[in-house]
Structures are given as structure tokens and as C-alpha cells.
């Protein structure tokens, strides 16, 4: 008995010593972070956390005076390195060595598995296809699509224009979903008018269930998960989400058939320019993919396209409602451009909206993607720190964008942060809502056009107000940041 006890104690001590050695060996870079315990590392710090608490928990742990702007957490034997330092971010984003995405994105792989989540050659191939969306010759048509959808949005909002407070988020989600589907798939369906559209809610639930499973290790084996209530619900949701994308694929295939058969008056085939989905079909033929596999690729792009911009627009409307003086400035600026005419905002107007530009940037400072996770595949030197391979780098955009060192009003809504003289004063790589470099967001320019057209279309018709006070706004943090409980606003006709 005693002997067994001794053996167990010695084994535990040995394991402790060896694992600590291993840890030190792998952490050559003297990264600081919370004290670890054997086996578990820092896991206990997250004990009892729900998926949506994790981000906030990490923010609480982050203590710049103690650990610096590059610090670490051990989850068991896995090392996570958090980076919120402009110099280090510059090194990472310029190096082209850290382009692969972390395995955390695999959580959503059963419905969104494409460019955002992939790595290596697969990513490179998909990126080429996605870049076709942003060719210059497509902009004119995209502006048209955005104009049409934002007009429909304003018509639908009329119903809500009775002074009562309501949540505008789903209206915006569906408008952005409509625009995204029209841009990438030439969808003829008007998503905003579609009865019982549940796609945006399904996606929310799908992401929630996925991140919840991620945390609960005992749910990882498929044969267990499939028998739980959550597992069954998740399967049903995944089916619905992919069903939506499969419908887009079907619709496009049908309409391409139509084009092949329709011969114009002078006997020529109509030469329609290829859209993103057509390129995706080519890729699918080349790689022998099923429509189901293609549907996961396009769901990924749809999510990247609509969710980010619609969360930002909802947040912007809430901010403009709370800060009436800023709303007035934005409105005046739009009025100066379009005057009393009914004409919609056009491409040539976009660059004249300096005030709205500042508002958009301030919104993105607060409310965009909280962090991006990249996989370190070969050791990376970050100034005086060496990041070992097989660790995960978290680019902490949320923290970076609220660092009092760089922002005079880190936690308030203060568009003057983006006055030219203030931009001038900040170091580079302090504002990265779209990240940057070859893996950065390709939709940056498009999203600026989107936000300007939609917000100006709404503001020209409606005055936005709210009873919510700035101190009451809480952001929830999962893959995106959004206002907990939604953007509660009131509309009145101008």
C-alpha cells in the first residue's frame, strides 16, 4: 500500500518536472502569463465558462502591466499566444509566414468550411476565386444591387415607423444577406421579402452550438454528441443552413442552363460575365466536388460577407441614435451631396463622405471581429520573443482597438479619433478591423460602400433615436462582436 503510494507520488512529481521542463523548453521566448499548474496549464481559469464568456474572460486576464502586450495561456499542453502590440502585429502581418488558420475555426466546419477556415494550398486556390468578386468591373453592378436592397429595407422599415422602440438587427441581417447572395450567386430571390426566412437565426444557433461543443470535451466524440439533444438540434440546423446554400446553387445551375439554350436574335450566345459561383462550379468540376461540398464553401463566404457588415451597421445605427449631434453632422453631409433630389447615393459620392467615414471607422474600432486565430507552423521570432511552432497566435483586435496608449477615448464613441491629425499621431498597425496582408479581408472596399449606401439611405428617410444610454450597451463576443439584446432604436420620418 505504502509502496504504491510512493510510486504514485514519485510518478506525479516526475510528470510535473518533465512537463514543466517541456513547457519551458517550448516557451523559449519567455512569454509571460498566469501561473500554470501541472497537466492543466491555465485551464481552470475557464472552469464553468460558457462559450460566450470566454472572450470576456481572456480580456479580464489580460494585464498589460503584468504580462506585456504579447502574453500566453496554456490550455493543457496547448499554447495560445495573445498579441495586441502594433510592432509585433506588423511583423506577423508582413512576414507571410503565419497565414494558416487555427483549428478553432474547425468548430463550424460542418456548415462553413471554405476560405475563412482553410489553410495552405486549399486556401490559396479559394482566395483566387474569391478575389474575382472584387474586380473593378463588378463595382457598378454591386452598387446597383446595394441601392435596390437598401430601398426595399427602407420600405420594410416603414412598418416600424410608429415611434415604438424595436430591434433593428434582423432587418439589417436580411438586407445584407440579400446583397451578399445577389453579389456572389446572382440570386433572384429577394431575401428580405421571403416568408419565414430563418437563415440568419440558424447561423447564430449553429455557431452557438458549435462553440459550446468545443468547450465540452466529453461532447467531442461524434457517437456521443449525436445522441444528445444539442447534437440532434445541431444536425437539423446544419441541414437547414446548407439547404439554403444548396438552393442558391440549384437556382444558378438552372439559370445557366437557360443561358446556354437562349440564342439571341443574331444567333449569338449571350456572353454573360462569370460570377463567383460560376468560378466555384469550375473549381468543383476540377476537384470533383459534390454540390454539398460546394455549399460549405459558399456558406463560408456568405457568412464572411453579411455577418460582419450587418453587425457593424446595427451598431452604427444605435450609436447615431445615442449621439444626436453626430447623426446631424452625418445627415448634413449627405444632404450637401444629394440635396433635395431623390437620387440614391452613387459611387462618385462615396469619397465625399468624410464625416460618415470617421463614424464607420469608429464603429469598426468598437464592433468588428474581436480576434483572429492563426496557427504557427514554424517558430516565429517576435522581437525579443520566440513563439514555438504548433502554438496558436491570437491577433487581439478588440484589445488593440481599446488600448489607452493609442486611443484618447478608448471606451467611448468618439469619431474624432479618425480626424486626419489624430490618425497621423498614431503608430501604424493600431487599427486593423480588416487585418491586412495576403490573408486580410478582401471585402474592405466593398464593405465601406455597403455601409455608406445603406446608412445614408436610412438616414435620408428616417431620424433614429433611442432610450438606451451608452453605459447600458454591452457587447457579446463570439466570432463577432454585437450588442447584447440587439440595437433597440426608434424611427421617425424626416
Ligand X SMILES: *[C@@H]1O[C@H](CO)[C@@H](O)[C@H](O)[C@H]1NC(C)=O
Task: Provide the annotated binding site for heme.
Answer: 441
Least separation in angstroms between residue 66's CB and ligand HEM is 27
Total chain residues near ligand X (CB under 6 A): 20
Assess 291 for contact with ligand X (CB under 6 A): no
Which residues does 480 contact at the CB level (< 8 Å), separation at least 6? Answer: 307, 308, 311, 368, 369, 370
Which residues does 487 contact at the CB level (< 8 Å), separation at least 6? Answer: 167, 168, 169, 314, 315, 317, 318
Instruction: Return the residue of 137, 262, 288, 342 that touches ligand X, per CB under 6 A.
Output: 288
Site string for ligand X, 345-384 (x = CB under 6 A): --------------------------------xx------
Cell of 271: 456572353
Least separation in angstroms between residue 332's CB and ligand X is 22
Instruction: Return the residue of 63, 77, 412, 492 that touches ligand X, per CB under 6 A.
Output: 63
In terms of Cα–Cα distance, which of 139, 123, 116 is closest to 299?
116
Instruction: Return the residue of 435, 454, 464, 479 that touches ligand HEM, per CB under 6 A.
Output: 435
Name which of 116 and 464 has its Cβ closer to ligand HEM.
116
Q: Contact, 410 vs 97, CB < 8 A?
A: no
Assess 130 for contact with ligand HEM (CB under 6 A): yes
Residue 110: contacted member of ligand X, ligand HEM, none (CB under 5 to 8 Å, by partner type):
none
Residue 199: contacted member of ligand HEM, ligand X, none (CB under 5 to 8 Å, by partner type):
none
Residues in the chain: 494
Least separation in angstroms between residue 397's CB and ligand HEM is 7
Assess 459 for contact with ligand HEM (CB under 6 A): no
Residue 204 Cα distances to 83, 191, 433, angstroms: 27, 17, 21
Site for ligand HEM in 186-245 (CB under 6 A): none
Assess 299 for contact with ligand HEM (CB under 6 A): no
Name which of 446 and 477 has its Cβ closer to ligand HEM.
446
Least separation in angstroms between residue 473's CB and ligand X is 22
C-alpha–C-alpha distance, residues 194 and 179, integer Å: 14
Instruction: Return the residue of 7, 8, 24, 66 that touches ligand X, per CB under 6 A.
Output: 66
Assess 112 for contact with ligand HEM (CB under 6 A): no
Instruction: Return the residue of 372, 400, 455, 458 that touches ligand HEM, per CB under 6 A.
Output: 372
The span of 162-170, 318-326, 363-371, 383-391 binding ligand HEM (CB under 6 A) equals: 363-371
Assess 341 for contact with ligand X (CB under 6 A): no
Site for ligand X in 125-154 (CB under 6 A): 141, 144-145, 147-148, 151
Residue 477 Cα distances to 230, 370, 484, angstroms: 21, 7, 9
Name which of 83 and 312 has its Cβ closer to ligand HEM.
312
Least separation in angstroms between residue 125's CB and ligand X is 12
Instruction: Return the residue of 19, 43, 100, 255 that touches ligand X, per CB under 6 A.
Output: 100
Which sign, positive or negative, has the C-alpha torsion 376, 107, 440, 406?
negative
Name which of 133 and 143 has its Cβ closer to ligand HEM.
133
Residue 305: contacted member of ligand HEM, ligand X, none (CB under 5 to 8 Å, by partner type):
ligand HEM
C-alpha–C-alpha distance, residues 213 and 29, integer Å: 32
C-alpha–C-alpha distance, residues 154 and 145, integer Å: 14
Instruction: Return the residue of 29, 33, 86, 305 that touches ligand HEM, per CB under 6 A.
Output: 305
C-alpha–C-alpha distance, residues 151 and 27, integer Å: 55
Assess 286 for contact with ligand X (CB under 6 A): no
Instruction: Return the residue of 442, 445, 460, 461 that touches ligand HEM, per CB under 6 A.
Output: 442
Residue 336 Cα distances to 106, 267, 355, angstroms: 48, 49, 12
**Residue nearest ligand X, CB atom distance:** 120
> Which residues would be at the binding site for ligand HEM (CB under 6 A)?
115-116, 127, 130, 133, 301, 304-305, 308-309, 312, 364, 368-369, 372, 433-435, 439-443, 446-447
> Which residues would be at the binding site for ligand X (CB under 6 A)?
63, 65-66, 97, 99-100, 119-120, 141, 144-145, 147-148, 151, 195-196, 288, 344, 377-378
Amino acid at each position: 500500500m505504502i509502496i504504491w503510494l510512493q510510486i504514485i507520488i514519485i510518478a506525479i512529481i516526475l510528470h510535473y518536472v518533465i512537463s514543466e521542463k517541456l513547457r519551458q523548453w517550448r516557451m523559449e521566448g519567455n512569454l509571460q502569463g498566469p501561473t500554470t499548474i501541472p497537466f492543466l496549464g491555465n485551464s481552470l481559469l475557464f472552469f464553468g465558462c460558457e462559450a460566450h464568456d470566454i472572450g470576456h474572460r481572456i480580456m479580464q486576464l489580460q494585464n498589460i502591466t503584468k504580462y506585456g502586450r504579447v502574453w500566453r495561456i496554456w490550455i493543457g499542453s496547448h499554447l495560445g499566444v495573445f498579441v495586441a502590440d502594433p510592432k509585433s502585429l506588423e511583423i506577423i502581418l508582413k512576414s507571410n509566414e503565419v497565414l494558416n488558420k487555427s483549428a478553432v475555426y474547425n468548430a463550424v466546419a460542418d456548415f462553413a468550411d471554405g476560405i475563412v477556415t482553410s489553410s495552405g494550398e486549399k486556401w490559396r486556390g479559394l482566395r483566387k476565386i474569391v478575389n474575382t468578386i472584387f474586380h473593378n468591373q463588378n463595382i457598378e453592378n454591386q452598387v446597383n444591387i446595394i441601392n435596390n436592397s437598401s430601398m426595399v429595407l427602407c420600405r420594410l422599415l416603414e412598418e416600424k415607423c410608429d415611434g415604438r422602440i424595436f430591434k433593428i438587427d434582423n432587418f439589417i441581417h436580411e438586407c445584407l444577406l440579400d446583397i451578399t447572395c445577389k453579389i456572389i450567386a446572382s440570386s433572384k430571390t429577394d431575401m428580405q421579402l421571403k416568408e419565414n426566412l430563418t437563415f440568419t437565426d440558424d447561423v447564430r444557433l449553429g455557431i452557438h452550438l458549435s462553440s459550446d461543443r468545443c468547450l465540452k470535451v466529453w461532447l467531442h466524440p461524434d457517437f456521443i454528441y449525436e445522441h444528445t439533444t444539442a447534437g440532434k438540434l445541431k444536425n437539423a440546423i446544419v441541414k437547414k443552413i446548407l439547404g439554403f446554400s444548396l438552393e442558391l446553387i440549384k437556382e444558378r445551375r438552372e439559370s445557366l442552363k437557360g443561358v446556354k439554350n437562349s440564342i439571341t436574335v443574331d444567333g449569338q450566345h449571350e456572353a454573360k460575365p462569370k460570377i463567383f459561383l460560376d468560378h466555384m462550379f469550375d473549381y468543383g468540376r476540377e476537384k470533383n466536388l459534390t454540390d454539398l461540398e460546394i455549399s460549405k464553401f459558399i456558406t463560408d463566404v456568405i457568412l464572411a460577407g453579411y455577418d460582419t457588415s450587418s453587425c457593424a451597421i446595427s451598431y452604427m445605427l444605435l450609436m447615431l441614435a445615442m449621439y444626436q449631434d453626430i447623426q446631424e453632422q452625418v445627415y448634413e453631409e449627405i444632404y450637401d451631396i444629394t440635396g433635395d433630389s431623390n437620387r440614391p447615393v452613387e459611387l462618385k459620392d462615396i469619397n465625399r463622405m468624410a464625416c460618415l467615414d470617421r463614424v464607420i471607422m469608429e464603429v469598426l474600432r468598437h464592433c468588428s471581429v474581436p480576434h483572429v486565430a492563426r496557427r504557427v507552423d514554424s517558430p516565429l521570432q517576435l522581437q525579443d520573443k520566440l513563439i514555438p511552432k504548433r502554438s496558436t497566435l491570437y491577433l487581439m483586435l478588440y484589445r488593440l482597438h481599446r488600448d489607452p496608449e493609442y486611443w484618447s477615448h478608448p471606451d467611448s464613441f468618439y469619431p474624432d479619433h479618425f480626424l486626419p491629425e489624430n490618425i497621423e499621431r498614431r503608430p501604424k498597425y493600431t487599427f486593423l478591423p480588416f487585418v491586412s496582408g495576403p490573408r486580410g479581408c478582401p471585402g474592405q472596399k466593398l464593405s465601406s460602400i455597403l455601409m455608406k449606401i445603406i446608412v445614408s439611405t436610412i438616414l435620408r428617410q428616417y431620424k433614429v433615436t433611442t432610450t438606451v444610454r451608452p453605459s447600458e450597451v454591452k457587447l457579446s463576443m463570439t466570432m463577432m462582436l454585437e450588442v447584447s439584446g440587439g440595437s433597440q432604436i426608434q424611427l421617425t420620418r424626416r
